Amino acid sequence: MSNTGLQSLDYVVFFIYLIGVSAYGYWIYKKKSAKEVSSTDYFLAEGSLTFWAIGASIIASNISAEHFIGMSGSGFAIGLAISSYEWMAAASLIVVALFILPVYLKNKIYTMPQFLRERYSPTVATIMAVFWLLLYVFVNLTSILYLGALALEVTAGIDFNYAIFGLGIFAVIITIGGMKVIGYTDVVQVIVLVAGGLVTTYLALDLVSIHFNAPGIFNALGLLRDQADSHFHMILPKESPFYKDLPGLSVIIGAMWINNLAYFGCNQYIIQRSLGADLPTARKGILFAALLKLLIPIIVVIPGIAAFVLYQNGMFQKEMLDVAGVVKPDHAYPVLLNLLPAGLKGMAFAALTAAIVASLAGKANSIATIFTLDIYKQYIAPQSTEKQLVKMGRYTIYVAMGIAVLIAPQLRVLDQAYQFIQEYSSFITPGVFAIFILGMFWKRTTSAAALTAALLTIPLSTAGKFLAPEIPFLDRMGIIFLILCGVIIVMTLADPNSKDNPKGLEIDASMFRPGRSFVIGSIMICGVIAALYTVFW
């Protein structure tokens, strides 16, 4: 029943997308290259991104193969509960826009290490910059390439290694134009991403309705819940085999907040999109991203659940197995793509590629920003001109992508890649969030306390994983966050000079007053989230 590979019409549709995005990116690049490009403009697109470009770029950079393939695979294995990463992220984005973003813009912060350097010390900033670079290159960039290549291999029959190389090249072409090119091409990428994703969701539900002889998409949704009721609970009980991945109430009142606030509020890769705009525009952009976040489970998780139901009823029996004959959840989305008719498969294939390339480009740009502005300019060549900084940023992109291309094939041993990304990213999350949140809102927080937390975060996370493997990683992250907050507070209170800390930030209450439209939009989004958790508790 599957239709591995692309047909002629699929190639036509895909190349229209490929040429269109490349041409649009080149036009933007040529338009802005008429004048001398500063490092701020290159890395942040200062003042030139609209709210819809900011929101679309956040989503395009965030949503990648780890969602289309990894989260869909988790939908197959776990069910709707994996959507907590998206729906709680929407709520977290509102908090970021309200309380964290104003601090950055008020203090003209362009990179996360810059915040740490100005608020604490160069040592703290450098340690965390190195941590981020290692995480971005060796976990994030490589996993995106791996999952993207896996998808291309299964859906289009493209050789896995060629797919990795091709994706890396395409992402570099988009990235070297700078944040403005990335920001505006991401708008196109998101349109393609959502449209292609909805096509696949429609196909999956249509297959369910046909298989059970109950025509209609809404009938199919009802059938999914009837056939896989265990897959439609947002809060997993302790007896669930996946409780360690999503530990019950922790997803709504526990460490999921820490995970999301650190990711969306203290992560160069995401917050960078809004740092070049004024506060009202940046807030609207983040709110737009939160709205788009609500849609993501529809286009990635529902297809995974549909594939599970169809698999349980005799379909995809061979396609869902790996070479060792073991069920591979991450095959769910590619298997569905293979059932699309010619043309539509090309559109869905373009959507998948758009998600992969946009995420790779955003990640590579953040790597270049941190290395160039916080390592190269600070320690290697302090007297660099703006032109030299831009050139070094491009060289950094080449090197980072080259490393990722070499490492990505080693990830083939993974089962659910999405959980791998979440768990290993969480090794530095507790320390990052503790340092940032206390540094922003408690003037007394000292550099020595922040440095101690930075040095402890990875050892404590590693010890927690191996000494207490029975504790879910989200809960472990929350425990370590509380420990590090305690360390920072105790060390700060023990320092008599902390009362007059000259590096404490000045916080103006007016910074946190949102406009009426932002308040209305936030209430609507939070209402939708509350309704979803109520219905699917």
Single-letter residue type at 327: V
Domain count across the chain: 2
- Each residue of 427-464: b (16+ CB within 10 Å) or e? bbbbbbbbbbbbbbeebbbbbbbbbbbbebbeebbeeb
Q: Which residues pair with 327 in a beta bridge?
A: 321
Is residue 198 domain-resident? Answer: yes
Q: What's the confidence (pLDDT) of residue 278?
A: 86
Residue 73 resides in a domain: yes
**263 and 344 together in one domain:** yes
Residue 164: give the domain boundaries.
8-417+523-535
Q: Using the 8-state DSSP alphabet, how is residue 537 labeled?
A: -
- pLDDT averaged over 10-residue windows placed end to end, the chain, 537 residues: 67 81 71 56 58 82 74 88 93 94 87 87 88 84 83 76 86 69 68 80 89 83 88 90 86 89 86 82 93 91 91 79 71 79 78 77 84 88 84 88 88 62 76 93 92 91 88 89 96 88 80 89 95 93
Helix, strand or coil, per DSSP, at residue 295? coil
How far is 349 from 345, CA to CA, in rounded Å? 6
Residue 44 in domain: yes
- Do residues 334 and 459 both lie within one domain? no
C-alpha distances out from residue 509 to 98, 107, 281, 436, 437, Å: 11, 14, 19, 19, 16
Residue 513 in any domain: the answer is no
- In this structure, the answer to whether residues 307 and 405 fall within a common structural domain is yes
Same domain, 115 and 241: yes
Q: 470 with 389, same domain?
A: no
Per the CB < 8 A criterion, the answer to whether 424 and 140 are in contact is no
In contact, 239 and 233? CB cutoff 8 Å: no
Instruction: Say what the pLDDT of residue 120 is.
Output: 92
